[in-house]
């Protein structure tokens, strides 16, 4: 079965045939761009698409809102500042520019190895980001921004992590547990502690050992596609309801 969603194809490309290095800060930005393109392509209500085509709304160049202090997210969509230049890029429909307001915010986390060690900090960061999106500058009233979390969870029987020239392979011990031994616990924590803070949470269950030939697979490819497609439809409908 071939994936037809750009975000899912981009996520696969982070691992398949290449070394995955978790400190690459561009992964989140690029995944968010593809989600906005999927939203444009599969918008059943067409409001998101119409607003993008009118060139008044699009993606932030810097993921911050002009004149407002906020935590920088991985992806922000909103209304452009008038009379400021917008950027078009080949292969993309959604323009980029300087935002005056944020209507959709996305945060991305990939949990590849040592997930128990990372999860509490990641949860705290995700919850704080959702709270930031939900509040106006005076912190007294709620905004209507749609908050989305995209979280990758590795289920591989083992994997390798890279720090500079050094490689660390999981061995199943408490210090270096295999991803498959942590995944279920992590997914349960996501359900309990992250989902309530977001309008939509996309959990991408995958398997990647990060070892030559750098193979990648979805835990359930058909279910991943179906659930992600359902999320895109719900986001489009909610966008139309809030910002028509």
pLDDT digits (tens, 9 = 90+) for 157-187: 999 999 888 899 999 999 999 999 999 999 9
Does residue 24 sit within a domain?
Answer: yes
- Whether residue 73 is contained in a domain is answered as yes
Closest CA to 133 of 47, 190, 189, 60: 60
Structure tokens given for 163: 């720090």
Domain that holds residue 108: 6-243
What the block records as the tokens of 92 is: 């993309």
Let me know if residue 92 belongs to a domain. yes
- Reported confidence tier of residue 11, pLDDT bands at 50, 70, 90: very high
Which strands, in side-by-side order, build the sheet including 96-99? 96-99, 57-65, 75-79, 104-111, 146-154, 200-207, 217-218
Q: Quick check: 18 and 74 in contact, CB under 8 A?
A: no
Specify if 143 maps to a domain. Answer: yes
How many domains would you assign to the chain? Answer: 1
pLDDT digits (tens, 9 = 90+) for 37-88: 999 999 999 999 999 999 999 999 886 565 455 555 799 999 999 999 999 9
Q: Is residue 1 part of a domain?
A: no
């Amino acid at each position: 079965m071939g994936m037809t969603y750009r975000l899912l194809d981009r996520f696969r490309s982070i691992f398949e045939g290449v070394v995955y290095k978790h400190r690459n800060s561009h992964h989140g930005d690029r995944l968010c761009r593809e989600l906005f393109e999927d939203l444009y392509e599969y918008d059943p209500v067409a409001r998101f698409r119409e607003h993008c085509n009118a060139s008044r709304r699009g993606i932030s160049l810097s993921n911050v809102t002009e004149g407002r202090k906020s935590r920088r997210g991985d992806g922000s969509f909103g209304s452009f500042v008038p009379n400021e230049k917008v950027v078009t890029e080949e292969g993309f429909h959604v323009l980029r520019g300087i935002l005056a307001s944020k209507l959709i915010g996305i945060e991305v986390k990939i949990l590849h190895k040592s997930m128990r060690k990372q999860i509490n900090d990641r949860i705290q960061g995700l919850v704080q980001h959702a709270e930031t999106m939900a509040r106006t500058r005076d912190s007294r009233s709620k905004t209507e921004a749609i908050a989305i979390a995209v979280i990758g969870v590795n289920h591989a029987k083992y994997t390798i992590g890279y720090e500079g020239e050094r490689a660390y392979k999981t061995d199943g011990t408490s210090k270096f547990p295999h991803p498959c031994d942590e995944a279920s616990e992590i997914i349960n924590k996501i359900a309990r502690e992250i989902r309530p803070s977001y309008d939509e949470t996309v959990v991408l269950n995958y398997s990647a050992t990060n070892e030559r030939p750098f193979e990648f697979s979805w835990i359930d490819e058909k279910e991943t596609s179906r659930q992600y497609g359902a999320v895109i439809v719900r986001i489009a409908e909610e966008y139309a309801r809030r910002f028509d």
